[in-house]
């Protein structure tokens, strides 16, 4: 479905490209041995290299390079066996050396693509232009003291991957789908935790509008948007702003803007004239980064199964619907949980339980799959009791709730509460007879042709048996006597 902005003189098309900064998961920083972990007291994860002391030199962290290559492979992108690091020069108090080491002309990863799926089930390919490695800056804190600013260098030098998309995105929904899919891939790969609230994934959003069939018009860049929802909102309001400018006879200036979610508007940060001249040049402290094809192959061989492939496999192997498969692979942990539950069991029953009662329970209790009160094995154990006829589906729901509360296994609960399904036909026959005896009027109605009352009798028998009757046997017994 095409997203168009209705202007005074007709519809406008939206053109969006995203630059995502994804913090690399690694023990230490991109060019120093200091810890790259989040949190920590200010300025406790800082080496002399990070602080830009005289004579200190950067040394590339092999693991960060591996993470970038894994990500490139996950984005089905070209891996450049030779890449280079450049210096991006600018002064700021939280940039200790006065330059950021980045990859300007020769990034480690070239063209790739991400397939996104929209609400209507349609899919689109969004091109990836490049991925490069660069250092994060430190953090300036201006709100700690009336007169002074404080600097925390814990983050200075931590590795970032900047992932640049082609201007292929045509609606806020596509931008959201792109970011969710990218985040899913990064999380599967274990190369970025994708946590936008903590700032480990941030997006710069390039927005322009045009009439159908036109070449691109001037774009604005909205910097550092830190949630998917805000990205979608920012695109929407920025596009409207640009349409209004064009339609009132003005022209959009190429500039950097900020999104203010409180007012739902974008504001100019700096114009092209004030733009920094970053004076990029190759960093003479670092040789070109050369990696071996064999090493890349080895990383490729050890990549985890990615969401698209896993979803297809779930459909093929487990025979579950595409939609269900999509829900289950949204997070690696969920997919793993499901596979544990489904192993050696009815995969469709497993999918129904995981997506249905289990997800609902997590939602209700505010838990995540990682700290779920019911383990995959415990849920599987309960399914086993359904399958072998120990309990029926209705009892299972009660057992599940009990598991949620007590943490006991299904078998323990069934045993303790005597919930074992009654398959003894003698007991069932007796219960059936008792119900018929108690309801002679209904029996007469049934016999005179009111077939619908069959369900009433089933319900009454089950009630009499405290829900423990085997539904199939109850049906059979009723049919026989009726």
Partner 1 sequence: MMLTELTIAAAQGGLRRREFSAEELVGAHVAAIDRLNGRLNAFITVTSEQALDAARRADAILAGGGDAPALTGIPLGIKDLFCTDGVRTTAASRMLEEFVPPYESTVTANLLADGAVFVGKTNLDEFAMGSANITSAFGSVENPWKRAGDAETVLVPGGSSGGSAAAVAARLAMGATGTDTGGSIRQPASYCGIAGIKPTYGRCSRWGTIAFASSLDQAGPMARTVEDCAILLQSMAGFDTRDSTSVDIAVPDYRAACGRSLKGMKVGIPAEYRVAGMPAEIEVAWEQGIAWLRDAGCEIVEVSLPYTKYGLATYYIVAPAECSSNLARYDGVRFGRRVPGASLDELYEATRREGFGAEVRRRILMGTYVLSAGYYDAYYLRAQKVRNLIRKDFENAFQTVDVLLTPTAPSPAFAQGEKMDDPVQMYLNDVFTVPASMAGVPAMSVPAGLSASGLPLGLQVIGRSFDEESVFAAASALERAAGFTHRPAVRAEVV
Instruction: Determine the interface stretch with partner 1 among 56-64, 169-177, 259-267, 349-357 (rule: CB under 8 A).
Output: 56-64
- Which class for 426: exposed (0-12), middle (13-18), buried (19 or more C-beta within 10 A)? exposed
- Binder of partner 1 out of 284, 366, 418, 449 (CB under 8 A): 284
Sign of the dihedral through C-alpha 274, 279, 285, 287: positive
Work out whether 300 is an interface residue with partner 1 (CB under 8 A): no
Residues facing 267 on adjacent strands: 258
- Binder of partner 1 out of 211, 260, 272, 281 (CB under 8 A): 281
Distance of CA 168 to the CA centre of its chain: 21
Q: Which of 385, 388, 395 is nearest to 469 (CA)?
A: 395
Nearer to partner 1, 44 or 264 (CB): 44
**Are the CB atoms for 36 and 191 separated by under 8 Å?**
no
* Phi and psi angles of residue 411, each rounded to the nearest 5 degrees, phi first: -60, -40
Distance of closest approach, residue 149 Cβ to partner 1, in angstroms: 8
Work out whether 42 is an interface residue with partner 1 (CB under 8 A): no
Work out whether 51 is an interface residue with partner 1 (CB under 8 A): yes
Sign of the dihedral through C-alpha 392, 394, 395, 401: positive
Nearer to partner 1, 111 or 285 (CB): 285
- Binder of partner 1 out of 57, 119, 294, 301 (CB under 8 A): 57
Question: What contacts 62, CB < 8 A, 6 or more positions away?
Answer: none
**Are the CB atoms for 335 and 306 separated by under 8 Å?**
no
Distance of closest approach, residue 28 Cβ to partner 1, in angstroms: 14
Work out whether 60 is an interface residue with partner 1 (CB under 8 A): yes
**Are the CB atoms for 204 and 225 separated by under 8 Å?**
yes
Work out whether 215 is an interface residue with partner 1 (CB under 8 A): no
77 by DSSP, 3-state: which? coil
Work out whether 290 is an interface residue with partner 1 (CB under 8 A): no
- Binder of partner 1 out of 19, 166, 173, 285 (CB under 8 A): 285
Work out whether 113 is an interface residue with partner 1 (CB under 8 A): no
Q: Tokens 């805000």 identify what position?
A: 230
- Binder of partner 1 out of 17, 72, 74, 96 (CB under 8 A): 96
- Binder of partner 1 out of 118, 286, 355, 482 (CB under 8 A): 286
Nearer to partner 1, 98 or 393 (CB): 98
Token output for 71: 């990500």
Work out whether 157 is an interface residue with partner 1 (CB under 8 A): no
Number of residues that bind partner 1 (CB under 8 A): 30
Token output for 20: 């995502």
Distance of closest approach, residue 402 Cβ to partner 1, in angstroms: 59
SS (H, E, C) 195-208: CCCCCCEEEEEEEE
Binding site for partner 1 (CB under 8 A): 48, 51-60, 87, 89, 91-93, 96-99, 149, 151, 277, 279-281, 284-287
């Amino acid at each position: 479905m095409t997203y168009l902005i209705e202007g005074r003189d007709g519809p406008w098309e939206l053109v969006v490209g995203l630059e995502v900064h994804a913090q690399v998961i690694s023990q230490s920083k991109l060019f120093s041995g200091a810890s790259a972990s989040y949190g920590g007291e200010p300025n406790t994860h800082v080496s002399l290299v990070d602080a830009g002391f005289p004579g200190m030199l950067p040394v590339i962290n092999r693991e960060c390079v591996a993470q970038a290559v894994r990500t490139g492979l996950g984005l089905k992108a070209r891996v450049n066996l030779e890449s280079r690091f450049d210096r991006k020069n600018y002064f700021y108090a939280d940039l200790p050396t006065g330059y950021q080491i980045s990859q300007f002309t020769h990034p480690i990863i070239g063209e790739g693509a991400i397939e996104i799926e929209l609400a209507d089930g349609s899919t689109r390919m969004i091109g990836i232009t490049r991925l490069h490695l660069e250092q994060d800056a430190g953090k300036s804190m201006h709100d700690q003291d009336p007169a002074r600013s404080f600097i925390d260098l814990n983050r200075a030098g931590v590795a970032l991957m900047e992932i640049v998309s082609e201007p292929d995105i045509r609606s806020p929904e596509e931008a959201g789908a792109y970011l969710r899919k990218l985040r899913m891939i990064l999380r599967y790969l274990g190369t970025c935790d994708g946590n936008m609230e903590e700032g480990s994934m941030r997006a710069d959003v390039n927005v322009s509008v045009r009439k159908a069939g036109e070449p691109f018009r001037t774009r604005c860049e909205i910097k550092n948007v830190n949630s998917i929802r805000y990205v979608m909102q920012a695109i929407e309001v920025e596009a409207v702003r640009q349409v209004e400018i064009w339609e009132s006879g003005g022209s959009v200036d190429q500039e950097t803007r900020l999104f203010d979610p409180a007012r739902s508007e974008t504001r100019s940060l700096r114009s092209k004239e004030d733009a920094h001249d970053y004076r990029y040049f190759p960093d003479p402290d670092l040789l070109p980064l050369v990696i071996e094809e064999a090493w890349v192959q080895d990383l490729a061989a050890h990549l985890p199964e990615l969401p698209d492939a896993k979803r297809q496999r779930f459909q093929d192997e487990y025979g579950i619907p595409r939609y269900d498969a999509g829900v289950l692979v949204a997070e690696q942990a969920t997919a793993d949980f499901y596979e544990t539950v489904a192993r050696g069991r009815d995969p469709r029953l497993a999918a129904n339980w995981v997506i249905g009662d289990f997800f609902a329970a997590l939602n209700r209790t505010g838990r995540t799959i990682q700290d779920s009160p019911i383990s995959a094995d415990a849920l599987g154990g309960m399914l086993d009791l359904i399958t072998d006829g120990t309990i029926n589906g209705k009892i299972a729901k009660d057992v599940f709730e009990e598991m949620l509360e007590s943490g006991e296994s299904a078998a323990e609960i069934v045993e303790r509460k005597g919930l074992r399904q009654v398959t003894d036909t003698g007991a069932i026959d007796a219960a059936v007879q008792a119900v018929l005896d108690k309801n002679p009027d209904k029996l007469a109605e049934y016999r005179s042709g009111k077939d619908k009352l069959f369900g009433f009798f089933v319900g009454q028998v089950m009630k009499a048996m405290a829900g423990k009757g085997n539904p199939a046997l109850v049906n059979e017994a009723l049919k026989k006597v009726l």
